[in-house]
Structure 1
Amino acid sequence: MRFMQLNLTNLIDLNDREFLEICRTNPNYKFERTVEGSLLIFNQPDHQTQQWSWAIASQIWTWNQQTQYGVIFDEVTAFKLPNGSIRSPNLAWISAERFSQFPRTNREKLIQLCPDFVLELLDSDANWARLQLKMQEYQNQGVKLGWLIDPMLKNIEIYAQGNSIQRKQMPDFLSGDNILSGFVLNMKQVFLR
């Protein structure tokens, strides 16, 4: 199984607690829930995708350690978006100011905040068109900046609030704009992997 979508509409109303229990009892899989109530089941990322993800995450982590501007999350974190869907991007970031307003008691459960920044990587289990829809959902729900990256073909789509989608082929660098203020991702380090 690479990817499976279970349509639970009209069968069961999977609440947040039940969703988290499914995640906890099935640690070898990644789960998401659509706004319509379908349960999405993914394999954990393959080794190559993890390498690309870490190449990006390490750069963002270093920048964030120096600036202390926010909090970084990886793909094991589930975010409940304002529309009710639950998503787990490969990487997410929330500003320190916004995250400090989120109750400490809920920080180890479902993060009920829309990230300021998300990253999605195309891997062997993913479908580019499905990821594009997911990026549009993120943007519609309040994500300020999103990067959709196909590391194999070196294609990148940039989703920035208030702007049309930018497409880039094999850029050397990506700017965090005013969301990840001062951050520049060195794509050469990512594409080398």
Structure 2
Amino acid sequence: MQAITLTIPPNINVFSDDELYAFCLANPELRIERDETGHIIIMPPTGLESSFTNGELFGEVRNWNRRTKAGRTSESNGGYTLPDTSMRAPDVGWVSKERLMQVVPDELKKFARVCPDFVIEVRSESDSLKELQTKMEKWLKNGVRLGWLVDPQEQKTTIYRPDSETETKLFSETLSGEDVLVGFTMNIQEVLTY
């Protein structure tokens, strides 16, 4: 089952940020995002294997951040309102202290207007690879400095950087946080092997 996009009729205004937040609160069982045109996207829950993968990857980034205290880490329930007006929730997100200092603290209680510096999107059993690739490009256009599209089906990770061609690495290769998550490395094969 793929994500479902709801179209709001033209005679009804697109949800404001507060209305979107209220809609999400009223539907806690749904995983909801909004694209840059105002369409509401409802995504199915992932299978347990994808959830385990998301959790392990989040844990690695969170542990690095605990040591460095360089910013804040979010998991797939954390929504970001981006410059193009979309509201997206990456499987793993990290925001630097520098970007967080520009956010009014009360905004953090909702879908704050801030773009993460780093994101990980994990391809679940129900995800379209093409849609995820498009989503990664949109993350970059909104200000993400480094992104990883992790594909367990193909056992590879595609690395996204602004103004650069994508790079693909196998799960057996070590990934670097580069100049975004300074000092962070991860070998996905090691992280996901039990």
C-alpha separation in 2, matches of 1:35 and 1:29: 19
CA shift at 1:168, angstroms? 2.0
C-alpha separation in 1, matches of 2:160 and 2:143: 11
Match of 1:190 in 2: 191
The residue type equivalent to 1:97 in the other structure is E
**Partner of 2:157: helix, strand, or coil?**
strand
C-alpha separation in 1, matches of 2:46 and 2:73: 18
C-alpha separation in 2, matches of 1:47 and 1:63: 24
C-alpha separation in 2, matches of 1:126 and 1:49: 11
In percent, how many aligned pairs have the same letter? 29
Equivalent residues of 1:80, 1:112 under 8 A apart: yes
Match of 1:6 in 2: 6
CA shift at 1:100, angstroms? 2.3
Alignment of 1:46-65 (within 5 A): 46-65=47-66
Query: Is 1:136 paired with 2:140?
Result: no
C-alpha separation in 2, matches of 1:106 and 1:167: 36
The residue type equivalent to 2:59 in the other structure is S
CA shift in 2, pair 1:190/1:10, >3 Å = farther
**Partner of 1:107: helix, strand, or coil?**
helix
Equivalent residues of 1:77, 1:111 under 8 A apart: no
The residue type equivalent to 2:5 in the other structure is Q
Match of 2:74 in 1: 73
CA shift at 1:9, angstroms? 5.3
**Partner of 1:73: helix, strand, or coil?**
strand
CA shift at 1:11, angstroms? 4.3
CA shift at 1:33, angstroms? 0.7
Match of 2:146 in 1: 145
CA shift at 1:31, angstroms? 0.6
Equivalent residues of 1:28, 1:44 under 8 A apart: no
CA shift in 2, pair 1:25/1:189, >3 Å = farther
C-alpha separation in 2, matches of 1:169 and 1:6: 36
C-alpha separation in 1, matches of 2:159 and 2:52: 21
CA shift at 1:30, angstroms? 0.6
C-alpha separation in 2, matches of 1:14 and 1:86: 11
Equivalent residues of 1:79, 1:86 under 8 A apart: yes
CA shift in 2, pair 1:67/1:80, >3 Å = same
Deviation track 1:66-95 (CA, whole Å, cap 9, x = no partner) reads 111110011111111101111111010000
Query: Is 1:176 paired with 2:177?
Result: yes
**Partner of 1:62: helix, strand, or coil?**
helix
* TM-score (ref. length: structure 2): 0.93
C-alpha separation in 2, matches of 1:154 and 1:112: 33
Equivalent residues of 1:55, 1:189 under 8 A apart: no
After superposing on structure 2, the runs of 4+ consecutive aligned residues of structure 1 that deviate more than 3 Å are: none
Match of 1:104 in 2: 105
Structure 2 stretches lacking a partner, 5+ long? none
